[in-house]
Chains A and B, each alone.
Chain A
């Protein structure tokens, strides 16, 4: 359908070439961010798998201090969050901001410095954790030095993105850009405040979970949603079903989500009102979540057949569906009566992976599948490997989440039953933990396919494929 559709808001943009302009200028920094993210993905997956196997074979690697559970598990969490997720987000934000502002990336040098500092921070932090120098606060295990490096890196990233936004050539701020802007303003503030040195005792616990939940609020979730709001309509060629609802979703998200953290401390020694406020806010999250769910579903209706043609669409739609699932689960889980059962069980681990993997990581995979060919001017060489990647990680994470959810729930019921000895609640989880390890292996294999493909992309190797017309044009512009 060739239409004479006038494009509102783009009047000032230079005709035709803005996408080439923004993709060309974002190419180098985004490839740097994505490449380091992929390296940390592999590192994080291996740590996660080691930690998982320790539940099945408790003595395995037990005599190497650096590979004991208490160190490998935080090494997994931190390398995945600050390495894979954060650097992936950085790449996505830089690329998407340039596109949505229809301009080139400004202050690119800051981005290179940011990538170096960020990688150095994560490396230093993970090595410190393995060496036994963890701070012992979940999500904040990195020593102060590593945290300082990451804080500086995040400020530089934000400065560059805000400068690019300032130089925008389009009046209208697309909904994805709202999420990105909120994210880059709040993440450095959040990270610095959480790492200030003067908390102790119960206050430390409150700040800890305020931080750990808000890193999802201001960093992980906006990235996943920004990706979904851009890639679903862009790939299928149809605008968002209800743009009004998407903006309502953003502002209600901004209002409610940042109150949620303290629901992690239900039953803890905090003022009851503080926990209750957090529970109320968690339930209010139904509003933004339903706006997202309705929007993404109704945008896709009638276009599900297109999932056959686009890897990006598969991953992002899978992620968007899991966002609805994980958010509903999270709101229910925050209720005291439900939390009584699931708190301190594997159920929580399943929930975390439904959010950070099935929603977030799948969305970022989708984004990378879309972005990379436009940066390297090289189409993904072996589509069949992409399909392997998708099915392995999709089935792997499904098995993971189901086994942890069911196993964790039974574990919780056993723990609450005073007539049963505590060891029963441990024994009953054994088959579920084995299923989790199998799921982990499947996911790792999927990641190896992805990493191989990613390597071919940055090297422009493999079969040269027929590239869609818009890449051909891109080369004309580059001349």
Chain B
């Protein structure tokens, strides 16, 4: 049985693709991406937008979670 050229190309691409995914996984382990997972979740927060504060209040300000409420009243 002969495999057509197209098939050979596609199988090669599939193997390379699998290797990329495997490589990414191994790289992630080596660079300790999966160590200390509890703190990883905090990477989207910072001092200006800390845990505990809402960052979208387009419909109005909640009573809690609004340290800047007094300022805002004055600015209207």
Question: Which of A193, A236, A254, A386 makes the CB contact (< 8 A) with B58?
Answer: A386
Question: Which of B45, B55, B65 makes the CB contact (< 8 A) with A7?
Answer: B45
- A19 proximity list for chain B (CB < 8 A): 46, 48-49
Q: How many residues does chain B have at the interface if contact means C-beta atoms less than 8 Å apart?
A: 46
Residues B3-50 near A (CB distance < 8 A): 6, 10, 13, 17, 20-21, 24-25, 28, 31, 33-34, 36-50
Interface centre among A19, A238, A370, by most chain B C-beta atoms within 10 angstroms, is A238
Question: Which of A7, A16, A18, A238 makes the CB contact (< 8 A) with B52?
Answer: A238
Chain B interface, >50% SS class: loop
- B28 proximity list for chain A (CB < 8 A): 173
B36 touches A313 (CB 8 A): no
Q: Which residue of B lies closest to A387 (CB)?
A: B59
Q: How far is the CA of A60 from the CA of B17 in the complex (A)?
A: 48
- Given A3-B52, A310-B56; A16-B47 close (CB under 8 Å): yes
- Given A16-B48, A470-B48, A470-B49; A174-B55 close (CB under 8 Å): no
B43 touches A172 (CB 8 A): yes
B34 touches A247 (CB 8 A): yes
Does B1 make an interface contact (CB < 8 A)? no
A473 touches B53 (CB 8 A): no
- A308 proximity list for chain B (CB < 8 A): 59-60, 62
- B13 proximity list for chain A (CB < 8 A): 189, 193
B59 touches A311 (CB 8 A): yes
A174 touches B43 (CB 8 A): yes
A8 touches B49 (CB 8 A): no
Q: How far is the CA of A3 from the CA of B54 in the complex (A)?
A: 14
Q: Which residue of B lies closest to A306 (CB)?
A: B54
Nearest Cβ distance between residue A60 and chain B, in whole angstroms?
Answer: 40
Question: Which of A8, A306, A380, A386 makes the CB contact (< 8 A) with B62?
Answer: A306
B34 touches A469 (CB 8 A): no
Q: Which residue of A lies closest to B76 (CB)?
A: A466
Nearest Cβ distance between residue A449 and chain B, in whole angstroms?
Answer: 15
Contact flags (1/0) for A332-346 with B, using CB distance below 8 Å?
000000000000000
B48 touches A466 (CB 8 A): no
- A175 proximity list for chain B (CB < 8 A): 40
Q: Which residue of A lies closest to B60 (CB)?
A: A309
- Give 22 CB contacts A-B under 8 Å: A5-B42, A16-B47, A18-B46, A174-B40, A182-B21, A185-B20, A237-B49, A237-B50, A238-B51, A243-B41, A247-B34, A306-B54, A308-B60, A309-B54, A309-B58, A310-B56, A310-B59, A386-B59, A466-B75, A468-B72, A469-B68, A470-B48
